[in-house]
Copies of this chain bind each other. A is one copy, B any other.
Amino acid sequence: MRVAILAHEGFPDRAKTAVGILRYADDEVVAVLDRTRAGERVRDHVSDVRGAPIVDGIDAVEEPIDALVVGIAPIGGGFDETWRPDVTGALERGADVVAGLHYFVGDDEEFARLADEHGAEIRDLRRPPDDLSVSDGTASEIDAEVVLTVGTDCSSGKMTTTFELAEAARERGVDAGVVPTGQTGIAIEDYGIAVDRVVSDFAAGAVERMVTERASEFDVLFVEGQGAVAHPAYSGVTTSVLHGAMPDRLVLCHVAGRDAVHGYEHVPISPPGEYAALYESLAEPVAPAEVVAGSLNTQRLDDDAAGQAIDDYADAVGAPATDPVRFDASELLPAVLGEE
């Protein structure tokens, strides 16, 4: 699929979905829309992804596109009205619009009418299926190995680690699939349910459904975790993913140096070893799983400090660790695949 990605005033640091698609999706990205960086190139900002021009709006995208993907999520998940000309422009070309906002683009009357007129589709990735139900507690019976990324905070690298591990496993010939649980992962895979948007009674059931579906397609599933189990706002979502997926093994993701919950600075983050033990305690009565590897985001450190931080983190977690973006996720595979 040929896509343009909308990331106005956010690329690359506040455009997690845009960077995720550039890095992991099969789509061909023909342009990134960021009016503050028009004329620059994607590779000026993110080195390890496919190249593409940055333009100021949809009218500057000359190639045909199949879809415009909203690649940023403002705080609150609302629709920014300055994006309207880009969305209408895409729909008028007959291109689909794909968005993972809390606000559903498809519910906008103008957009819905344009989509109808031009034979385009609007896909709101966070819109839950309408036939969800409570979990049966059966994910542990599926015929695939399940590895879940868990974190010490939001934005601690769970989505990235999930995709890096899956890619590394595929390179080794493992039939590995991803179970995305958030909008970026869903945009990359064109599959998945945004678990945080599901009625809380059905959150574990939504994860169970995905794991069960994908187990019929893959030998190993990498499930994208959400939130953190000691996060004051999102721990319920985290717990639902843990108990809905019933993983065989856990990978603990952490940001080097982060010692308080992002946005909730009055809540300290427990030491990684204690955090790992808490996940294991919570998994144990439902479906036992151990933290077998650690993933550390060392983006803010230099090479020496990163190496030292990873060594310390591995000691704290009691398992092999790396930074899968800076270094190589394949180092973790023996532990993650249960070969050790």
Contacts and interface: CB of A to CB of B under 8 A. Distances in A.
A297 interface: no
A235 B230 contact: no
Interface in A131-174: 134-137
By size class, the interface of chain A is 35 or more
A278 interface: yes
Given A136-B233, A201-B237, 16 more contacts: A134-B234, A135-B232, A197-B199, A197-B201, A199-B199, A200-B237, A204-B232, A204-B233, A230-B243, A235-B239, A235-B240, A235-B243, A235-B282, A236-B238, A239-B239, A278-B282
Interface stretch (A60-68, A264-272, A316-324, A325-333): A264-272
A277 to B, nearest CB: 8
Interface of A: 134-137, 195-201, 203-205, 229-240, 242-244, 246, 261, 264, 266-270, 274-275, 278, 281-282, 285-286
Contacts of A136: 233, 264
Contacts of A196: 199-201
Contacts of A264: 136-137
A238 B195 CA distance: 16
